[in-house]
Every structure is written in C-alpha cells, then in structure tokens.
Amino acid sequence: MSGTEELLVEAGRLAAELDAADPPTLLDVRWRLVGPPGRDDYAAGHLPGASFVDLDTAWCGPPGPEGRHPLPAPAALQGALRAAGVRAGHPVVVYDGGDGMSAARAWWTLRWAGHPQVRLLHGGYPAWLAAGLPVSTEVPTPAEGDVTVRPGALPVLDATAAARLATGDGVLLDVRAAPRYRGEHEPVDPVAGHVPGAVNLPASGYVTDGRFPAAEVLRDRFAAAGVVDGAPVGAYCGSGVTAAQAVLALHLAGRADAALYVGSWSNWVADPQRPVARS
C-alpha cells in the first residue's frame, strides 16, 4: 500500500472491508471542544459495528498543568481500547464528525501506544453518509481485545524540547489561527501569544473539511513554512488535538519523524516563567 492508503481509507473501501470475514476494529471518536458530547452523536447514528471511545476520558488524561488534553495513563488507555475490542496486530479505523481532528488525535495516540495498524476514515462520518452507506443505532458488544499499550512509539515534545526546536535548527509549527498566534485573540487559554520562534501554519493550510490534499501539495505547503528535509519538525496547537492532525499531515507528506507537543499552548502558559511572543 502507499503511504496515504496506510493512513487514510475512503468510505467505499471501508464498507467493503467491513463486509469481510475479519473486518477492522471500528472506533467512533466524535468530539467537540464545546457543545453536546460526541456520545450523543453516536447514539443518534453511527457506522455499523463501531464502538464509541471518548476523547476526553480515554484518548487523553485529565486536564491540569500538563495541558488540557495531556497523554493518557497507559493502563487507562489500554483498558478503554480492550473494552472497545482492539486486538494486537489487528487493524483499526477511527472516524469523527468530519473535521478530522479528534480522529487524528486517536490515530496519533494509538500509534504512540505502539499500535501501527490504524487509519482514518477520510472525511469522517459525513463522507460515509454522502456515499449513501448504512448507519445504525445498535451499540455493539465487542469481544474483549488484547492490545498492550507500549508508550513511546511516536516522538513527543515537552516544553523544553519545544523551545529548543523553535530556536534551534528545526521548525516548531503553531497550527492555531493567526490571531491566536499573534496574541490578538485567545478564546480558551489564559494567556495569548505563541512560543518564541514558532512558525504559524494554520490548519486550513494543510486540510480542508477534514480532507487532505495530495502528498506533493502537502510537501510544498510545509516547505513554504520552513519544513525542510533532514531538519527536525514538531507541531503544537491549543491542547494537542489540532496539532495531532498536523502530525498526520506531515506523515502523509513523508515526515514520519514529526513530533507532537502534546501539552501545547495550554501546557506552555501553565508556567508563568515561560516566555511568550506576540506579533
């Protein structure tokens, strides 16, 4: 398979895979930063056979000084994944409400946890509906999975490493909207601005409505932001969800070494001694 096929799956192909004798494990990870919880969407209709796994309580740890969406405790993540039927060596497909953000965080977390066989439904639930494929309100009872969480399979930045990357030989991408990066507007966190030295590349520069352009287009867009072959690259956002999508886009562009600053801005500003840039 190509790199794109290893990371993304279109609705029609997924439908065929789900009809096979041993289909991939299907996880509904719909989530909103504000508004009704994703579980309500799941209850109203989901892909047949999908189990719901909540971003706030499974894919991330509880909020605190490490950020609003820090790394989950390995044992807690393993328990949630096994309850959803995730098996060692068996493929997983994750999907969300269409923007691709929570699905990307689930993809990243599974990869970080040592489970490499995971793809996103490209375009999420809306793509499935647009293809005229069936939905269900039945809640499955999957057989208990046997996956073992082994953290560390993808690179992670803490605040020290992020600062070093931003002012060193690599590129630290801030993928929030430009007014937040410039410090003109901060709707969520208590301090506005950005990590000194970080380069702004809003998510709209590499993804549109949860769909990614071709790999060569992504490479050009990241190159325009200063990402060059051989130099390290990392990404952050407000709390490590949108930035996980940036890491996915970097993987699609051939940069499987891209690092995620999981705590992101919400972790950076938790320490008032850390410098803040505004421009």
Active site residues: 237
Determine the number of helices (DSSP H) and then strands (DSSP E) in the chain.
11, 10
In angstroms, rounded to a whole number, what is the distance separating the alpha carbons of residues 157 and 177? 21
- Three-state DSSP at 259 gives strand
CA 210: distance to chain centroid?
Answer: 11
Instruction: Find out whether 180 and 193 touch, Cβ atoms under 8 Å.
Output: no
